[in-house]
Amino acid sequence: MKQLLLCIVFITTSLELFSQVRGFVYGNDTIQKKALKGATLLLLEEKTKVITSEDGAFEFILPKILPQTLVISAKGYYSDTVILTKKDRFSALQIVLYAEKLLPEVVVAFRKADHGISRLKTLHVEEINSGELRKAACCNLSESFETNASVDVTITDAVSGAKKIQLLGLDGVYTQIQLENIPVLRGLESSFGITSIPGTWISSIQITKGTGTVVNGYESMAGLINLELKKPDQSEQFFANAYQSAFGRSELNLNNSIKISSKWSTTWFLHGSTMLGKMDSNQDNYYDTPLFKNITAMNRWSFQGYKMEAQIGFNAYLDEKLGGEINAPNPYQVTTNTKHLDVFAKTGFFLKKPTNSIGVVYALKRHDISSKFGNNAFNGVENRAYINALFDGIIGSTIHKIKAGFSANFIQLQQQSNYLEDNRIEIVPGSFLEYTYSGIRLTAVLGARVDVHNLYGAQFIPRLHAKYTLNEYMDLRFTAGKGWRVPNFMIDNISLMANSKSWVKASELRPEKSWNIGTSLVNKFNLFQRKSNLTIDYFFTYFANQLIVDRDVNSAFIVFKNEQNTSYSSSLQVEFDIEIVPRLSLRLAYKNLLIRARYNGIEQQQVMVPTHRFLTTLSYASRNKRWEFASSLSVYGAMRLPNFTLNNVLYTNEKSTAYPIINAQVTHIYKKWEFYVGIENLTNFKQINPIIDPANPFGSDFDATRIWGPVMGINAYGGVRYTIKTKK
């Protein structure tokens, strides 16, 4: 691997060097100066252009032949022109456009890449926009990563339908998930909540590997996933999506945006889904996927003023699931009933200096869940309050930036099962400070935070992120930092109730603490005169303390225990993208995962995690933009399986088999309509006997948690989307 990396660096750095120009575009309307998102910078001679990001930042390659004419334009502002010469190589620009009265204008269309690593950001941030999300079948967050190599979505058992994500091979509880920088899917939501966020609400997803910045909190131990919803002032006026699968799953999504005034706008999101098909493809008398009903609604308001901006809203959903045996005198049933309500607000205040601002985020949540796995019952109630206040400014110039603020978490948690309970109140105030240096080639972010937990005392979190521009096409990143969390061992492992084993609670519940270090190389180049991207990243996570779930120590028990300085994870990923011909893109990815800990006294690979995974995606869009084709091939390597007992015989050291999953989708666009059809699991691969001893669900050998592959075979689906765009 080292030889491969050295070879890549040698080849790419030996190319003829150009120069990189970066900077910011601001708009001035005589009242305030603000960063301009979506401003266009066009090099006239080269006929190339870039679009500014949300904070007005841009970055582009300066051609060898100079001088060049750079034209900067944005809707509602006078355009400006800059002549770039050789002295502007590796320079940083600050461009200010002045407002004009809106007049009829020529609209220049620009297509942003559906997927890629953000070169503007210091951290390793993988961006997925709505174009990439449309390539997945439907319709919730857990299905939004089908074409992504970084995030794996796993089914946790064969009866409840619960799903979890894995990042860097680690359980999803180690990944901080945020909805526009507001923490979500925490606590009692961690096991079933991933299916409660419809994908049609999402405009983009940002995946940060390794510890995030201290501004976002202390829980990002493996990484951070931030979800950006469609904004009230930017989304469609009306959007509808209807979906139907051959297995009996139906979904309907409705979005409606209304411009109330020049400052106020609002969006309604409505989602309904149901599963009515009683599928039992392997004839074991158990539902392949549970029957369910889900209703979700969100309303958000946006205010855009001269001195402040705000986002407020609420989100609520009801979810019911029924799985288990289909026909039996005394059926083994799995039921889950969830009620959720949260309200949130984000406020931003512009200070006299346009580079300084204050932002405050608020969130309140109530979550109720009751679940039953045969004779095993679980009930939980969670009340949560969150606030995060942030000052954002500069020190002298934009080269030196600073962020400082405080946060507070209040958590009231109640969890009870047949014979265990975990009730507690957590109060966690914290403060943080972060410094950013933005040089011509080097950008570094150094931060630290201190959080004081009412049960576990003060916790100090240092983090460092750096990006160095090797040349205009290649970036090298480095990250290191600490994270911690308080485990919720019951809800985090609720799917393990789908067997006959008893739980042995750890003698003491301790915070999990980890150190993460990682590096990545991102290179853009031309291969056979075609645009290509190569990304190589490696992350190592070392646990100073981890709550281990040992399923091998005893055939009759599941043991929870604290392990210090014995568990770690290693993740290596290589990803290559190329545009084979115009509008035909190919992506190849490989991931190697070593997730090690002490199980039954022996250091070995964690169960249900494949050591190897391959992903290939192919997508094409016709020239007239009326047809879109997308396909993906995922190959999952062998996984270590937990020990089990059947008829007094102990089975150990078993592994799953490697298997492929092929998905394909075709979309036809006609005016405001989009019609799509697709196939999932084209190879019709199914895990044989996912349930141990299914005929005796209340016996000592029953186990529905050894699932490692799909239970259902090939599935066909179809749907229609209807869109009325907002008039500009």
Same domain, 420 and 307: yes
Q: What dihedral angle (degrees, nearest 10) is formed by the CA atoms of 127, 130, 134, 140?
A: 80
Answer yes or no: is 686 within a domain: yes
**In this predicted model, what pLDDT tens digit does every residue of 560-603 receive, in sequence order?**
999 999 999 999 999 999 999 999 999 999 999 999 999 999 99
Answer yes or no: is 109 within a domain: no
Same domain, 82 and 156: no
pLDDT at 354: 74
Same domain, 303 and 434: yes
pLDDT at 563: 94
Same domain, 535 and 426: yes
**Cβ partners under 8 Å of residue 435, min gap 6:** 400, 401, 402, 445, 446, 447
**Cβ partners under 8 Å of residue 623, min gap 6:** 582, 583
Structurally, the chain folds into a number of domains equal to 2
Same domain, 131 and 85: no
Answer yes or no: is 103 within a domain: no
Answer yes or no: is 344 within a domain: yes
What count of other Cβ atoms lies within 10 Å of the Cβ of residue 341? 14
Last residue of a domain, one of 98, 129, 152: 98
Give which of 601, 687, 685 is closest to 641, Cα–Cα. 687
Answer yes or no: is 133 within a domain: yes
Answer yes or no: is 430 within a domain: yes
Same domain, 358 and 431: yes
Same domain, 86 and 127: no
Phi, psi of 141 (to 5 degrees): -60, -35
Answer yes or no: is 464 within a domain: yes
| Owning domain of residue 562 | 115-724
**Cβ partners under 8 Å of residue 624, min gap 6:** none
pLDDT at 306: 82
What CATH number does residue 65 fall under? 2.60.40.1120
Last residue of a domain, one of 98, 129, 147: 98
Answer yes or no: is 241 within a domain: yes
What CATH number does residue 707 fall under? 2.40.170.20
Same domain, 74 and 215: no
Last residue of a domain, one of 98, 123, 142: 98
Same domain, 184 and 65: no
DSSP 546-574: EEEEESSS-TTEEEEEEE-S-EEEEEEEE
pLDDT at 572: 98
pLDDT at 11: 38
Same domain, 67 and 188: no
Q: Can you list the residues of the chain whose pLDDT is less than 50?
A: 1-18, 102-110
Same domain, 47 and 133: no
Same domain, 141 and 81: no
